[in-house]
């Protein structure tokens, strides 16, 4: 490849900018021309691209969001939209593409790969719901934000001897809840991957309060239920009335952690090198510390394994 483009697609995540920076700087290092596509696949259809020089990605490694902006684009999901996008890239002499996004964005990259554009996917989502990578770009930051929020909630909970339900993001994946719950010493972690019984949760809370616990934090993954519903059932069953906090979009903003910046930098550079090697239709990831590529077809059809060992540890330590 001689000329590549980079886009961000789907929900944004912290570290996307660090990944864009890595793609642009590596491309220049290896003598490739590089374009930034504005607003994901929509930008391909609108021919909304600009050349990215070394300075265009200055001062963004620490910023949340994405300077390329992101979008969901229905038109691109049609075969016609996809061939139009491929034609547009070809007309500009662009033969490689790096797509930073989630599952849906990966599938778009795969379609373009089948139309002859070399395309690589990078996992950009806070949800950590992508297989064949230990973590996605943004996950570590989102977990840190949740832990920080729970620390604050905990201070006021202990003073008032209250319990709190904290609803966190993650879509169908419980990883944010699991990791943040373990790191913040939550009493209960409700995730879609593990069946739970709110009668048991309520009983445990009642017993723990009776034996001197001064506060109780229940972390609920959005994929497991609504914080309000969980709190209502607990109130009905135990008489304890938890306060509910829905953390929402603050989990997706703010400066990325060093871990996310390093992950994004490694993956962005790796994607460029893989394109230069002629690779296409692959997702880049880090598995046991090593950079790997996996067929997008395989990645999007594999459900990420849930870490039961961590979950059981969290439960053992939360008595
Ligand atoms: P996140 O998980 O963070 O929301 P995502 O990449 O899964 O990110 P989607 O909204 O599913 O987010 O996908 C983003 C865009 O990718 C869509 O708007 C669409 O343009 C494209 N896309 C999604 N699915 C497909 C598909 N099956 N084929 C082609 N393009 C797709």
Segment 55-104, tens digit of pLDDT: 999 999 999 999 999 999 999 999 999 999 999 999 999 999 999 999 99
Residue 115 CB partners (closer than 8 Å, separation 6+): 82, 83, 86
Smallest CA separation from ligand 1 atom 17, residue = 72
Name the helix (H) or strand (E) containing 81: helix 79-91
Q: How confident is the model at residue 157 (pLDDT cuts 50, 70, 90)?
A: confident
**Of all protein residues, whose CA lies closest to atom 20 belonging to ligand 1?**
73
Residue of 104, 122, 100, 107 whose CA lies nearest to 283? 122
- Rounded (5°) CA angle 139-110-18: 35
Pocket perturbation via mutation, ligand 1, pick of 84, 105, 126 by most ligand atoms within 8 A of CB: 105
Residue range 247-269: average pLDDT? 98
List pLDDT tens digits, range 263-306.
Answer: 999 999 999 999 999 999 999 999 999 999 999 999 999 999 99
Say how many Å lie between the CA of residue 184 and the centre of ligand 1: 32
Distance 107 CA to ligand 1 centre (A): 7
Quote the CA–CA distance of 269 and 53 in Å, as a whole number: 16
Helix (H) or strand (E) holding 282: strand 282-287
pLDDT value of residue 99:
98
pLDDT confidence bin for 158, thresholds 50/70/90: confident
Dump pLDDT digits (tens) for 303-312. 999 999 999 9
What local confidence, expressed as pLDDT, does residue 208 receive?
Answer: 86
Residue 214: predicted pLDDT: 79
Residue with the nearest Cα to atom 24 of ligand 1? 104
What per-residue confidence (pLDDT) applies to 156? 83
In ligand 1, which atom is closest to the CA atom of 125? Answer: 3
Query: Which pLDDT value is given to residue 236?
Result: 95
Nearest CA to ligand 1 atom 19: 73
135 is in an annotated binding site: no
DSSP string, 130-158: -SSSS--BTHHHHHHHHHHHHHHHHHHHH
> If you average pLDDT over residues 146-152, what whole number do you get?
97
pTM of the model: 0.96
Q: Would you state the pLDDT for residue 13?
A: 98
In this structure, are strands 3-8 and 33-37 parallel, antiparallel, or unpaired? Answer: parallel
Q: Specify the pLDDT at position 210.
A: 86
Q: Give the Å distance between the CA of 173 and the centre of ligand 1.
A: 17
If we measure between CA atoms, which residue out of 193, 236, 240 comes closest to residue 218? Answer: 240
Calculate the CA 244 to chain-centre distance: 24
ipTM of the prediction:
0.93
Contact call for residues 128 and 183 (beta carbons, < 8 A): no
Query: For the chain, how far is it from start to end, CA to CA, in angstroms?
Result: 57
What integer is the mean pLDDT of 236-241?
A: 91
- What is the whole-number distance in angstroms between the Cα of residue 156 and the centre of ligand 1? 40
Confidence of residue 160 (pLDDT cuts 50, 70, 90): confident
Confidence of residue 9 (pLDDT cuts 50, 70, 90): very high
Mean pLDDT of all residues in the chain?
A: 96
Percentage with pLDDT > 90 across the chain: 92
Residue 290's pLDDT is what? 98
Q: What percent of the chain has pLDDT over 70?
A: 100
């Amino acid at each position: 490849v001689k000329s590549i483009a980079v886009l961000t697609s789907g929900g944004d995540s912290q570290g996307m900018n660090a990944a864009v920076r890595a793609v642009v700087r590596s491309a220049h290092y290896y003598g490739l021309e590089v374009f930034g596509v504005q607003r994901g696949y929509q930008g391909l259809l609108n021919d909304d691209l600009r050349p990215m020089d070394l300075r265009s990605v200055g001062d963004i490694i620490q910023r949340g969001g994405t300077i390329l902006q992101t979008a969901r684009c229905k038109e691109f999901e049609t075969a016609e939209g996809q061939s139009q996008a491929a034609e547009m890239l070809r007309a500009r002499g662009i033969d490689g593409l790096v797509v930073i996004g989630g599952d849906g964005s990966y599938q778009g990259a795969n379609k373009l790969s089948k139309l002859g554009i070399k395309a690589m996917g990078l996992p950009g989502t806070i949800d950590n719901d992508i297989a064949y990578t230990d973590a996605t770009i943004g996950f570590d930051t989102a977990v840190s934000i949740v832990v920080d929020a729970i620390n604050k909630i905990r201070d006021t909970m202990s003073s008032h001897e209250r319990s709190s339900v904290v609803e966190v993001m993650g879509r169908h994946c419980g990883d944010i809840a699991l990791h943040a719950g373990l790191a913040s010493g939550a009493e209960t972690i409700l995730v879609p991957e593990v069946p739970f019984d709110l009668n048991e949760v309520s009983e445990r809370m009642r017993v723990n309060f009776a034996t001197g616990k001064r506060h109780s934090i229940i972390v609920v993954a959005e994929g497991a239920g609504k914080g309000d519903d969980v709190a209502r059932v607990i109130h009905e069953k135990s008489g304890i009335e938890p306060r509910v906090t829905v953390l929402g979009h603050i989990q997706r903003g703010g400066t990325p952690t060093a871990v996310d910046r390093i992950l994004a930098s490694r993956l962005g550079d790796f994607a460029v090198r893989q394109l230069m090697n002629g690779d296409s239709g692959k997702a880049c990831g880090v598995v046991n510390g090593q950079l790997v590529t996996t067929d997008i077809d395989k990645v999007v059809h594999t459900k990420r394994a849930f870490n039961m060992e961590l979950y059981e540890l969290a439960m053992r330590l939360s008595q």
